[in-house]
Structure formats: C-alpha cells, structure tokens
Structure 1
Amino acid sequence: MDQQKSQAVIVDNNKKKTYFLNTGQSIGEIKVEKILKGKVILSYEGEQLDLRL
C-alpha cells in the first residue's frame, strides 16, 4: 500500500468530528505513524497503539 496516498479516517464520536489524516499528521498528541492495509499505527505519550479494521 502506498503510504503517500493512504489516509486514515478517524471518527471522534465525543466531538462529532471525522479526521482524514496522512502518515505523520496528528490530532492533538496522537500521531499517525503508519497506515497499513487493515490497520493504522498511532503513537501517544511514547506508546504505540494499533487500530485494526
């Protein structure tokens, strides 16, 4: 998957907002590290978080 063209779609239900993010972009202190087929790898406060479809 071409990471330059891939976007992560993250929905914040509390704020009723949808974010379209590329690798390296952030929402507050949460940063998109990698976008892979079937999962997005985020970092927050030094920890890695995997979001899977």
Structure 2
Amino acid sequence: MSKSTIQVDDDYEAWFRRKVEAGRTALRDGRVSSNEEIEARFAAKREELLRRLDESSA
C-alpha cells in the first residue's frame, strides 16, 4: 500500500471516529429525532414545495 493510500485511510478513520462521537454526543444530549419525525418534517416540506410550484404555474 502506498503512503498516500495509508494517509487517506488514516484521514477517513479519523473523520469517521469524529462523526460517530458527534452522533453519540447528540444522542446523550437528546438531540435526536425519530424516523417518524423526520418523515413528517420532509413530507411537510414536499407539500409546501408542491404548493408553491402549483401557485407559480397558475
């Protein structure tokens, strides 16, 4: 394996560990949403976007 490949692997590993730790911290702090909450939030965004598109084409 080349040095640049090893560096990329090390960089990715460090990035991945930071992301996992950030997720664990968010979970401990209660900064999480259920799948149902996310689905509802994006359904509302889709409806709003479709409404605005409909209004702009009228």
- Interval of TM-score (by shorter of Structure 1 and Structure 2): under 0.3
Tell me which protein shows more strand as a share of its residues. Answer: 1
Tell me which of the two structures has the higher relative contact order, counting C-alpha pairs closer than 8 angstroms and 6 or more residues apart: 1
Tell me which protein shows more helix as a share of its residues. Answer: 2
Largest Rg, 1 or 2: 2
**TM-score of the superposed pair, with normalisation by structure 1:** 0.19
**TM-score of the superposed pair, with normalisation by structure 2:** 0.18
